[in-house]
Amino acid sequence: MFDLENFIASCQVAVTQEEPIAAVHELLAEALSDRRGVAVALPVTKAELCPLYSGPDVTIIKVVWAPNMQFPPHDHLTWACNGIYRGVEHNVLYRLVEGALVETGVLDLGEGEIGLLDDDAIHSVTNPRSSELSAAIHVYGGDFVSLPRSNWVGAPPRRVRADVAQTRAMFEEANRSL
């Protein structure tokens, strides 16, 4: 059975390894082998960003996307290892070219799958399902909460500083539409 405290402690050790993202990937793969246990420990009831642990070397967040929810392009400024335990996640990948976002690919993840993002990754996320919440454990290789991250908004997309209040508002709005 998935044990959240043990998972957090194991991630804290994993990020000290020579290949931290590989070590975290292994931990997530083990956790996702018991998706039912993860869902019991981390119930999926509404769209949310729920910090499970945040420290200087690792941040772990439960992310639940509402049906049809779209999150704009954003960066992390650290590597990320995202494991899906319910539903699907559609990621569009970008890179900056002369200050403009250029789409470089997609990363579609389903239940039990893990997506890896480098520290320079920029991506948007969509839950393409029209009637099902999607849920994941996102593990970041640093203090994700305190990093001066960016979002890209508007058309054409312009870079703005990521704003926690705006992010919360997006999730609250998604929950109102459930």
Q: What is the pLDDT of residues 78-93, one digit of tens each?
A: 999 999 999 999 999 9
Q: What is the pLDDT of residues 8-32, one digit of tens each?
A: 999 999 999 999 999 999 999 999 9
Domain ranges of the chain: 4-176
Q: How far is CA 42 from CA 28, 103, 150, in A?
A: 14, 33, 27
Q: What pLDDT shows up at residue 178?
A: 84
Closest to 42 measured CA to CA, from 56, 26, 53? 53
Q: What is the pLDDT of residues 149-174, one digit of tens each?
A: 999 999 889 999 999 889 999 999 99
The whole-chain average pLDDT of the chain stands at 96
Work out the number of other CB atoms within 10 angstroms of the CB of residue 7.
23
Q: Please tell me the class of the 4-176 domain.
A: mainly beta
- Listed in order, strand segments (DSSP E) in the chain are 48-54, 59-65, 70-75, 80-86, 89-97, 100-109, 114-117, 122-126, 134-140, 150-153, 158-161
Q: What is the pLDDT of residues 96-135, one digit of tens each?
A: 999 899 999 999 999 999 999 999 999 999 999 989 999 9
